[in-house]
Structure 1
């Protein structure tokens, strides 16, 4: 088993994160924070922490959130790759240099205290010499082998995905075909562009790549759960926030956006209680699909001329990576919205300017120098330069007179 590695940036910021064999035991010594829901844990994590989760088939979005938090290691009570489908999260964690330990003792949640400093060594979590929990450390080779096995059973997942799609179509045919059940909203959308932001894959890069578009078209901005905070982080204010509101900050809720709660088909809306406690009014939208589907149907039903999606699921790999039967609804919702839907995903990768600001500055400076030399070399240019010099002297004389 290979020794655990700590990302260089983390090792520099946190001396307690020991690395290699030269300065003590191989492993990582850091505060431990645990939560069965990865989404909730990422709100509390600090750079250098050891994260303890219970997450079967870690998806890419969750892995990216853990990497962004700067964790020094991840302990998973469940299997990071169960073999049901080739999920992308574990590979991302290992490529980021973050040790990943699977099938950890479930009792770890009761044995560790929030923020307690423990040592992780070769898949074993230690409090001094006491073993708190242990699991199986993953590396690039073991993850690749598990991914190959998962891809072999991909056909079973595709059949399940197709069955879920047909089941969703039967249940929500009126909503999908005729828009029955879509609530009215106060925000004016008719004939305007709509930008829907989900805190998904590459959302930061794509929002940055869309700055010129946003400045020119000023689209209606819809944040889906944490997508509202993503818009605020980028310097924009969402016009509408859609979701179950389990991952939206209080700051986003208080920004003045219209709130639409995604409820279950039977009318239950867990997110409504939080909004009521905070004194916010909201519209309830019962639907079987995901919150990003609700956002797209809202925009389409309100007459949006174009819908630009950031961070949403667009490919089969992404649908399966999420590992939810409900992703079938996203597939059908995209078919319903049709050609007015454009995915911003990949815009930042499709085009990045090869001209740096310093290159542009040097070009402007060279152009100005060329103009000055050309003017100085011609009789007419010399007359203009003499005139400008005289005007400059008059300006300096006037400026001196103000202080004399």
Structure 2
């Protein structure tokens, strides 16, 4: 088995971005991504891997030890160099578009200065994740405290739906598909094509999930979020816009819509928690029959991956929505094809043998088999005769054809 070795020295152009999801829009293969992202989560890592950078330099700890985040392992497994250089002004020091040279854990800048950092190897990642798992209990306690705090703050919204805005989109007795650009969203959207085609659900894109919907070939009916990670293309697609606002009514996302001239018809939804939560609560309060969630967060690792206390709201939201919610997470893995092409051919052949065997034991079946055999014999005789027509007289060649083709052949030779 061959082993892929990472070059001892790697060079590339630095691309700077404090927000990983914004940076990935500018990355090209071979670039060096320079980020400031504590505890790189799975979604961010998968987005980076898709762009195939040569390396990722982080101004924060890629694994802080708060919980076992899987992002660095995904990057290292993909052959991408990961180096932590904890530096408050690292992004400004490196500079956009400058060439960097990586030698082990050292980063040589265009100015000739050398920064030393921590380079992740598979063994280092494994050890850091082991230590992070030991400290997970502390995060569980904080998560429980945040859950209770959210329940007190949003009890009216959770219990009675008080505070949901009036919207144009009619959810009553309709299936609703809520798309978040999270775990396995692309694969799950592909698998859900029959469901979308047959049920024609109301499609709600949560922030960047609206772009995921467009990329999949659909148009969202509604976009909900703080509007920081959705493209202008999605905002202008004609979907109803609901801006997630702070509890005090402040809605920074409305400023962006005003710049695009889209704020007149937009509404705000002041609430704590996440945008995916208020999307579910809105659909439930407006009478949706079933809510199918794609890319949303459902496990403890995913809650902690977001790195903010508001994720505790997702747990309570799922309790509120109850049996209406169908989580499509991982459905692509559940229905992954496990039958090879050879096995399919073998299955078809076995079916044909079974049909022939069944026909052979009945009088009608035996007659049908004889007729098919006669037709096949006529065709083979005619086909074989095509290769001997040039060497025999026309009168004799006519005898090689099936009786049904004799007349057309004679008329053609006569002409």
Give the ranges of 4+ consecutive aligned residues of structure 1 lying more than 3 Å apart after TM superposition. 104-107, 355-371, 374-390
Cα distance in structure 1, aligned partners of 2:366 and 2:79:
59
The structure 2 residue matched to 1:272, chosen from 236, 240, 254, is 254
Are 1:108 and 1:132, in contact at CA under 8 Å, matched by a contact in 2? no
Partner of 1:302: 286
Partner of 2:179: 197
**Unaligned ranges ≥5, structure 1:** 1-6, 9-17, 21-25
What is the TM-score of this pair, normalised by structure 2?
0.82
Partner of 1:58: 40
The structure 2 residue matched to 1:353, chosen from 337, 343, 365, is 337
1:333 aligns with 2:317: yes
Correspondence list, 1:203-242, <5 A: 203-242=185-224
The structure 2 residue matched to 1:284, chosen from 236, 255, 268, is 268
Partner of 1:81: 63
Cα distance in structure 2, aligned partners of 1:150 and 1:288:
28
- Deviation string for 1:185-240 (max 9, x for gaps)? 11121111111111101111111111121122111111111111111111111111
CA, structure 1 residues 276+384, in 2 after alignment: closer, same or farther (shift >3 Å)? farther
What is the TM-score of this pair, normalised by structure 1?
0.84
- Deviation string for 1:269-310 (max 9, x for gaps)? 111111111111311101111000011011111111111111
SS, match of residue 326 in structure 1: helix
Partner of 1:23: none
Correspondence list, 1:240-251, <5 A: 240-251=222-233
Partner of 1:117: 99
CA, structure 1 residues 378+161, in 2 after alignment: closer, same or farther (shift >3 Å)? closer
Are 2:28 and 2:53, in contact at CA under 8 Å, matched by a contact in 1? yes
SS, match of residue 113 in structure 2: strand
CA, structure 1 residues 367+385, in 2 after alignment: closer, same or farther (shift >3 Å)? farther
Are 1:168 and 1:328, in contact at CA under 8 Å, matched by a contact in 2? yes
Structure 1 residue 112 displacement after superposition: 2.8
The structure 2 residue matched to 1:323, chosen from 307, 316, 333, is 307
Correspondence list, 1:74-153, <5 A: 74-127=56-109, 130-153=112-135
SS, match of residue 130 in structure 1: coil
CA, structure 1 residues 122+283, in 2 after alignment: closer, same or farther (shift >3 Å)? same
Greater C-alpha radius of gyration: 2
CA, structure 1 residues 376+324, in 2 after alignment: closer, same or farther (shift >3 Å)? farther
Structure 1 residue 53 displacement after superposition: 0.8
SS, match of residue 315 in structure 2: helix
SS, match of residue 309 in structure 1: strand
Cα distance in structure 1, aligned partners of 2:25 and 2:366:
62
SS, match of residue 309 in structure 2: coil
SS, match of residue 242 in structure 1: strand
- Deviation string for 1:55-75 (max 9, x for gaps)? 111111111111112111111
What value does the CA root-mean-square deviation take over the aligned residues?
3.2
Partner of 1:259: 241
Partner of 2:139: 157
Cα distance in structure 1, aligned partners of 2:6 and 2:252:
44
CA, structure 1 residues 229+381, in 2 after alignment: closer, same or farther (shift >3 Å)? same
Cα distance in structure 2, aligned partners of 1:245 and 1:89:
25
